[in-house]
């Protein structure tokens, strides 16, 4: 990403597992080739091209920043080395999966940070499936949100396919299917017992809470989905305590994001957890990432020849790159990064971020489990100083470009501007 979205101090890298799976399975079916052959734009293309497509697979190398790693503007997340046609074929998928999952993982991390802004552990669950940009996006959003720190998802398909913990509550439609709200609570409680989370705001939140207390004294929690969540949560807590149910959890939902959550917690709202949907899976305040995929070198006679782009506002540094990260020697906190040429030696005290993932089209290292990625994200975010994680006006994280890479840029850009001699 050339720039971070507004009010963002970092991004949390996600989507690598799907990228690798795609590269491993890259093939053209007979039906797909027939379709391409029939397109007017390919009308004059030799049959050799379509014969080539029948045997296409990804034969190249991939290095990548591990999922769950905080990253910053200008830093490469993937480095693809492959025959140029293969490298170009995979561009769109790689951008799509990394841009979207990184977007949602980063938003989730901010929401989770906000939920714990007073130092108290509160849960956040992904509730975004119905507002995601399609069912497939909803599953990937659940995955990315889990990496970013959400404890689970309401998307059961994501739970089935990826092992993400699933979580949900009673629905308004369930309650409205009964003539009497208390009867709806009783019926739900008979099914789910101590796991029940009752939705108390379908008609009147306070009266709904009283009915829930009578109908489901052993319930796990109640959810408030509308109204003044601060004031209502305080009233609901008082009713629960008066009934001897002070340990029953209060969950809040309803068009929440990190800013609304931070405000609720600062005001002292009696909320134990949050369900966050629309503004999480769409990253409503920054709904896209401008990730780019650029050709930076061509191999000629066994040597890498650098390439660069000089378009206005879209300049790229030439050559294969690596990112080196320094940490504070005493605290282990992230201190600064250097973007350097891939052939430059690792500076003393730094660590390379891009790691080998595929060699000659084959996975070269065991991919971590989703739970391992999630743990990595939590550990790495804890090592990113708070000043870079603020929800508004974060301090920019220091990212430098190595002198050798700056010199290569200056030399090649001058050569390009002079033109052929």
| 38-54: pLDDT as tens digits | 999 999 999 999 999 99
Burial of residue 334, with CB atoms counted within 10 A of its CB: 0-12 exposed, 13-18 middle, 19 or more buried: buried
Distance CA 269, CA 380 (A): 29
What residues contact residue 40 under an 8 Å CB cut-off, 6+ apart? Answer: none
Residues 317, 234: Cα–Cα separation, whole Å: 55
120, pLDDT greater than 80: yes
Taking 80 as the threshold, does the pLDDT of residue 238 lie above it? Answer: yes
Q: pLDDT by residue (tens digit) across 379-407?
A: 999 999 999 999 999 999 999 999 999 99
**Domains along the chain with CATH numbers:** 11-101+301-418 (3.20.140.10), 103-281 (3.20.20.70)
Find the mean pLDDT for residues 298-320.
89
Nearest to 147 by CA among 337, 364, 372, 413: 372
Backbone angles phi, psi at 311, to 5 degrees: -55, 150
- CA distance to 34, 42, 44, 106, 418, per residue, from 39 (Å): 9, 6, 10, 40, 40
Check whether 320 has a pLDDT greater than 90: yes
Q: How many CB atoms lie within 10 A of CB 420?
A: 4
Query: DSSP string covering 136-154, please?
Result: HHHHHHHHHHHHTT--EES
Q: Cβ-count burial of 218 within 10 angstroms (0-12 exposed, 13-18 middle, 19+ buried)?
A: exposed
The 10 Å Cβ neighbour count of residue 185 is 27
Phi/psi region, residue 330 (left: phi>0; alpha: psi -120 to 50; beta: rest), is alpha
Cα–Cα distance, 175 to 184 (Å, whole number): 5
Whether the predicted model's global pTM rises above the 0.75 cut: yes
Q: State yes or no: pLDDT of 365 exceeds 90.
A: no
318-321: long-range pairs with CB below 8 Å, 24+:
318/408, 318/409, 318/412, 319/405, 319/408, 320/79, 320/81, 320/296, 321/76, 321/79, 321/296, 321/354, 321/405
Residue-level pLDDT at 326: 98
Q: Please determine, for residue 311, whether its predicted confidence score (pLDDT) is greater than 90.
A: no
The pLDDT of 243-261, averaged and rounded, is 97
Res 168: pLDDT: 93
DSSP assigned state of 163: -
130, pLDDT greater than 80 = yes
Instruction: Quick: pLDDT tens for 134-156.
Output: 999 999 999 999 999 999 999 99
For the cut 80, the answer to whether the pLDDT of residue 24 exceeds it is yes
Cα→Cα distances 229→150, 197, 237, 276, Å? 21, 17, 12, 14
What is the pLDDT, as a whole number, of residue 417?
73
Question: What confidence tier does 421 reach under pLDDT thresholds 50, 70, 90?
Answer: low
pLDDT of residue 313: 77
pLDDT(119) > 80: yes
Cα dist from 248 to 24, 47, 220, 251, 270, whole Å: 48, 69, 6, 10, 11
pLDDT-derived band at 420, boundaries 50, 70, 90: low
Q: What is the pLDDT of residue 414?
A: 85
For 76-103, write each residue's pLDDT tens digit. 999 999 999 999 999 999 999 999 999 9
pLDDT tens for each residue of 188-227: 999 999 999 999 999 999 999 999 999 999 999 999 999 9
């Amino acid at each position: 990403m050339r720039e971070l979205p507004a009010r963002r101090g970092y991004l949390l890298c996600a989507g690598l597992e799907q990228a690798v799976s795609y590269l491993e399975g890259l093939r053209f079916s007979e039906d797909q080739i027939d379709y391409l052959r029939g397109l007017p734009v390919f009308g004059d293309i030799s049959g050799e091209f379509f014969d080539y497509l029948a045997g296409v697979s990804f034969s190249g190398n991939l290095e990548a920043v591990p999922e769950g790693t905080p990253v910053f503007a200008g830093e490469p997340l993937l480095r693809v080395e492959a025959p140029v046609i293969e490298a170009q074929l995979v561009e769109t998928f790689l951008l799509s999966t990394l841009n979207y999952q990184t977007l949602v993982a980063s938003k989730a991390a901010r929401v989770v940070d906000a939920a714990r802004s007073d130092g108290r552990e509160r849960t956040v669950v992904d509730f975004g499936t119905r507002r995601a940009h399609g069912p497939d996006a909803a599953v990937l959003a659940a995955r990315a949100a889990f990496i970013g720190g959400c404890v689970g998802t309401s998307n059961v398909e994501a739970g089935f396919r990826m092992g993400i913990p699933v979580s949900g509550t009673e629905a308004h439609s369930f309650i409205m299917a009964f003539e009497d709200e208390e009867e709806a609570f009783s019926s739900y409680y008979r099914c789910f017992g101590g796991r029940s989370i009752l939705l108390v705001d379908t008609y009147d939140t306070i009266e709904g809470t009283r009915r829930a207390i009578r109908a489901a004294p052993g319930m796990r929690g109640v959810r408030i989905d509308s109204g003044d969540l601060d004031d209502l949560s305080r009233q609901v807590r008082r009713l629960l305590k008066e009934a001897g149910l002070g340990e029953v959890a209060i969950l809040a939902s309803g068009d929440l994001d990190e800013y609304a959550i931070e405000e609720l917690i600062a005001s002292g709202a009696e909320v134990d957890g949050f369900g966050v949907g629309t503004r999480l899976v769409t990253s409503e305040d920054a709904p896209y990432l401008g990730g780019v995929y650029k050709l930076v070198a061509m191999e000629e006679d066994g040597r890498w020849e650098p390439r660069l782009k000089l378009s206005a506002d879209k300049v790229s540094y030439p050559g294969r790159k690596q990112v080196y990260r320094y940490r504070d020697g005493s605290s282990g906190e992230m201190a600064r990064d250097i973007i350097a040429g891939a052939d430059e030696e690792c500076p003393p005290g730094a660590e390379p971020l891009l790691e080998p993932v595929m060699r000659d089209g084959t996975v070269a290292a065991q991919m971590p489990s989703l739970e391992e990625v999630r743990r990595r994200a939590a550990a790495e975010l804890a090592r990113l100083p708070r000043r870079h994680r603020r929800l508004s006006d974060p301090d920019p994280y220091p990212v430098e470009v190595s002198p050798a890479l700056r010199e290569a840029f200056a030399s090649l850009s001058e050569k390009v501007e002079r033109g052929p001699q």
